Amino acid sequence: MYVLTEVKSGGVYATKNQDGVKSVQVFESEDDAIRYLELLKANEYKTELEIFEVDAKLVAINCQTHGYAFSIISSNELIIPPSDI
C-alpha cells in the first residue's frame, strides 16, 4: 500500500471528505499513487510530496488516533484530487 507524504515534514497528505474530516488516500497500486501525485502537480499543488510504502494497518491506527478517515483506493478505481487545493 502507498500514501503520499510531505518531503519536508514527513506528514501524510490528506484531503477533507464530504463531512469536513481529513481523509488519507491509501493506494493499493504504486502506479495509481504516481498518477495521483502527477495530477496534484498539474493542479499546481505547492507542497513537495513523495510516495511512501506503508502497512495499511498502521495507517488505520494512526488515522484513528488523530481523528482522520482513510480510503483504500483499489487498482480499478480512479480518483481525482480536489480542485480547491
Q: One digit per residue, pLDDT tens: the chain, 85 residues?
A: 999 999 999 899 999 888 888 999 999 999 999 999 999 999 989 899 999 999 989 999 999 999 999 999 999 888 888 876 5
pLDDT value for 69: 93
pLDDT per position as a tens digit, 29-48: 999 999 999 999 999 898 99
Predicted TM-score of the model (pTM): 0.88
DSSP strands (E only) in the chain = 2-6, 14-16, 22-27, 49-53, 69-73
Estimate to the nearest angstrom the gap between the alpha carbon of 72 and the chain centroid: 9
Q: If you search the block for the grid coordinates 488519507, which residue do you land on? A: 24
Neighbours of 4 (CB within 10 A): 24
The C-alpha cell 507524504 sits at: 5
